[in-house]
Amino acid sequence: MKKILNIFVLISLATLVGCSSDFLEQQSPDQLSSSTFWRTKSDAEAGLSATYALLEASVEEYAFSEVKWPVEAYREDICKLGSDALNYQNWVELADFTYTNGNSQLTSYWKLNYRGISNANQVITKVGEMSSSAISDSDKNQIVAEARFLRAYYHLKLILNWEQIKIRNKYITDQNEISAPLASRTEAWDFITSELKAAAEVLPAKQPADKTGRATSGAANSYLGFVYLTRAYEETAKKQAYLNDALTALNKVQGYQLVKDYVSMFDGTNKNSIESIFELQFTGNTSNGAFYRTALHFWMAASELGGWDEILPTNMLINEFKKEGKIATTGNYDSRLYATIFFKDPYFNDPANPRIFGDTYDKKFGGIDKPAFRKYLPPTQEKMNTEFLGMNVPLMRFSNVLLMKAEVLNELTRTAEAIPFINTVRDRADMPSMIGVSYDAVKAQIEHERIIEFPLENFRFYDLRRWGKTKAALDAVGRTGFNPAKNNFYPVPLTEIQNN
């Protein structure tokens, strides 16, 4: 995918420069350009592959973790910087909210998402222009629909992190079209909504085995439900209508189930599971020079586990997991705690069943009490010691759909209908049914479940902002530098301002 991406980017750049330059008057007949690349279905698939390649800043094995998680996770109350992360000032600024529009990580995040949009726009235009002799209508329609889903996804990542963004809805061939004003949030949401709806109408409910991981109607409807739920809180005059729209979209997400072995979805042993709706694809396959791996496990792991000590769970997250006590059917705390975090507990200190890479917690951590993330770590020490791994990263899971449906129903005052969805998620974690039947009890339970269901999946900040609780939550963990007026959204990067 990386080789395809490099070709694709060069084509894009050549198009932007060539259209306004008089220096190049003749084109080499054996050199690919945007006008000669799109000849067959395989070319269309290659262009689409290059568009997928930019998902979540996954273009580079190191940049993937070093852009996505500092930008998205360091500002959450459930995560804190590890010891090594303190050496990187641009990461520290994100965590203590002293960043400016010159911060390199948020700038990279912005650029990579717009590169993804640019690639998607080229696919939509160029594949759409291909003749029926080059590609069948059904193949063309699906590739364009996937590109439209990706274009919506990249815009969604931007509007979730910036108050205003530029809508890029066309393939740019003239430098004069590059400058564009920032759109209003309503305009951006409307565009994203229309793209997801259009994609959902064309995409299949399930992709064939050779296209595993590519967008489906389930993915489009899941994110459409998320968009409507977010808009319901932002645009309160239309709250009821958006909640109903969210429920309609989420009800269309069918054919998925929760996976009992929660940790297997994050350690590389259960890729593209029955619970996974949209998942970032990596593999250890290196044939023909392929490289689809990352060093994510080192970035996530504590130093005592052989990692770099970049991110750790906060006491708040540990306490949230433990707040209901050891009431699981296993006799322990909520099972998601053990699947998400290594911590000082008899479960991890059983010498007869050493559960941390063949050792007990006390042996691995030298007797100190230092909770560390387990999520995104491989199951064995041998794999942990491997420089790069091909573990997938789930981006949208069915548990999210269930909890979003519960939230929508509760906000629609259909509280009794919300409770079964919450209990389904709890049952997977070996927890008994929730206590309480009121709107407030269900709302509190949803907030609790979302905290402990999605650590390191980076929904927490968006949840807090949606509920209007960001400032209070961060203050509660000593993160008093957060100012909603300044930090609810990132500033438009300085480079973007200078370029326009």
For residue range 415-435, what is the model confidence (pLDDT) as tens digits?
999 999 999 999 999 999 999
Average pLDDT over residues 225-240: 98
Residue ranges of domains in the chain = 2-20+32-235+489-499, 296-313+335-393
For residue range 347-367, what is the model confidence (pLDDT) as tens digits?
999 999 999 999 999 999 998
Q: Taking 90 as the threshold, does the pLDDT of residue 148 lie above it?
A: yes
Pairwise CA distance, residues 51 & 54, whole Å: 6
DSSP secondary structure code for residue 342 in this structure? E
Question: Residue with structure tokens 């303190």?
Answer: 86
**Region for 432 from its dihedrals, namely left if φ exceeds 0, alpha if ψ lies in -120 to 50, beta otherwise:** beta
Average pLDDT over residues 479-492: 98
Q: To the nearest whole percent, how much of the chain has pLDDT over 90?
A: 87
* Domain spanning 2-20+32-235+489-499: CATH 1.25.40.390: yes
Closest CA to 56 of 400, 327, 355, 294: 294
The mean pLDDT value of the chain amounts to 92
For residue 334, what are the β-bridge partners?
none
Pairwise CA distance, residues 30 & 36, whole Å: 10
Q: What is the pTM of this model?
A: 0.93
Question: Residue with structure tokens 């239309």?
Answer: 238
288, exposed or middle or buried, with CB in 10 Å at 0-12, 13-18, 19+? exposed
Pairwise CA distance, residues 60 & 291, whole Å: 10
For residues 200 and 216, the answer to whether their CB atoms sit within 8 Å is no
Question: Residue with structure tokens 């235009």?
Answer: 125
Number of H helices and E strands in the chain, helices first, is 21, 6
Pairwise CA distance, residues 130 & 60, whole Å: 31
pLDDT of residue 31: 54
Pairwise CA distance, residues 468 & 381, whole Å: 42
For residue 312, what are the β-bridge partners?
80
Question: Residue with structure tokens 């909504």?
Answer: 193
In 10 A of CB 236, how many CB atoms?
10
Q: To the nearest whole percent, how much of the chain has pLDDT over 70?
A: 92
In 10 A of CB 404, how many CB atoms?
24
Any alpha helices (H) in 454-493, and if so which ranges?
460-467, 470-476, 484-487
Three-state DSSP string of 231-293? HHHHCHHHHHHHHHHHHHHHHCCCCCCCCCCHHHHCCCCCCCCCCEEEEECCECCCHHHCCEC
For residues 78 and 314, the answer to whether their CB atoms sit within 8 Å is yes
Q: Classify each residue of 198-217 as buried b or exposed e, where b means 16 or more C-beta atoms within 10 Å of its C-beta.
A: bbbebbeeebeeeeebbbbb
For residue 283, what are the β-bridge partners?
292
Average pLDDT over residues 316-344: 98
Pairwise CA distance, residues 120 & 129, whole Å: 14
pLDDT of residue 334: 98
For residue range 164-204, what is the model confidence (pLDDT) as tens digits?
999 999 999 888 888 889 999 999 999 999 999 999 999 99
Average pLDDT over residues 254-281: 98
Query: If DSSP codes are grouped into helix, strand and coil, which group holds residue 340?
Result: helix
Closest CA to 411 of 193, 247, 205, 300: 247
